[in-house]
Amino acid sequence: MLRAKLSVVPALVIATLASALLAGCAAGRDDRSENWSVNKLYSEARDESANGSYDKAIPLFEKLEGRAAGTPMAQQAQLEKAYAQYKGNEQAAALATIDRFLKLHPASPAVDYALYLKGIVNFNDNLGFLSFIVQQDLAERDQKAAKESFEAFKELVTRFPESRYTPDARARMTYIVNSLAQYEVHVARYYYTRGAYVAAANRAQNALTDYKDVPALEEALFILMNSYDKLGMAQLRDDARRVMQKTYPSSEYLTKGSKSTQDSWWKFW
């Protein structure tokens, strides 16, 4: 009986392999793009992307990359694949495709667009931190994507000041800087309202050190001043107050205070 069972196993394996091979051959025969020209392939891929069928567009762009290798068409396919990946919520894949493009084609006339797209992918990926979901500890939020977005836009603006994408990149850089500074202040406020005054002072000081001429610094100074007060550091508190009075002489924080020093952080919103 045991021998009979063992003899059946190879037969099953062979049958399974045969089925897989037949399925593969059938799939090859069903590949409607197999005999398409590169122009046809590109047209179909773009149509799928324009219709929001990114899962269909991406493999078509990949095939186009292979068939048109070494031509401008292949470069175009690579960039449009990155865009389709981004729109299809495959941010990591999109960034990998863009980085590969920049490595393989450093002299391409489309490098400015590649840098812009890299900034956009990161910009839309993790600048969602501004939503401040209450269930997540603010101190745990990672600003890596926002900073990488800024760096991509910065490289674009520096290397290609006349690019059509540069004006929008500049505007987004300003937004990112303001947002990152505001984030530091939100975290400082978060710590302050929980009585973690050393941590609050450190985050407020980070904002003041790392960012210049952004609106959030007014509150950063106020939190710094109050944190020092709570810690009994009178000299540092007074120094912070003098800086605030000189920098923001009409600040309402000095006369009315802030909810950030009274209420839970989430109530501030």
Asked whether residue 45 is domain-assigned, the answer is: yes
- Position 21 pLDDT exceeds 70: no
Asked whether residue 269 is domain-assigned, the answer is: no
Tell me the average pLDDT across 18-43.
Answer: 67
Tell me the average pLDDT across 23-29.
Answer: 47
Asked whether residue 43 is domain-assigned, the answer is: yes
Q: What is the pLDDT of residues 113-129, one digit of tens each?
A: 999 999 999 987 554 44
User: Which domain covers residue 66, as residue numbers?
Assistant: 37-90
- Position 85 pLDDT exceeds 70: yes
Asked whether residue 63 is domain-assigned, the answer is: yes
Asked whether residue 114 is domain-assigned, the answer is: no
Overall domain count for the chain = 1
pLDDT of residue 142: 57
pTM, entire model:
0.73
DSSP the chain: -HHHHHHHHHHHHHHHHHHHHHHHHHHHHT-TTTT--HHHHHHHHHHHHHTT-HHHHHHHHHHHHHHTTTSHHHHHHHHHHHHHHHHTT-HHHHHHHHHHHHHH-TT-TTHHHHHHHHHHHHHHHHGGGGG--TTS-GGG---HHHHHHHHHHHHHHHH-TT-TTHHHHHHHHHHHHHHHHHHHHHHHHHHHHTT-HHHHHHHHHHHHHH--S-TTHHHHHHHHHHHHHHTT-HHHHHHHHHHHHHH-TT-THHHH--GGGTS-GGGG-
Token pair listed for 80: 């449009």
Asked whether residue 104 is domain-assigned, the answer is: no
Asked whether residue 151 is domain-assigned, the answer is: no
pLDDT of residue 145: 87
The more confidently predicted of residues 87 and 254 is 87
Asked whether residue 103 is domain-assigned, the answer is: no
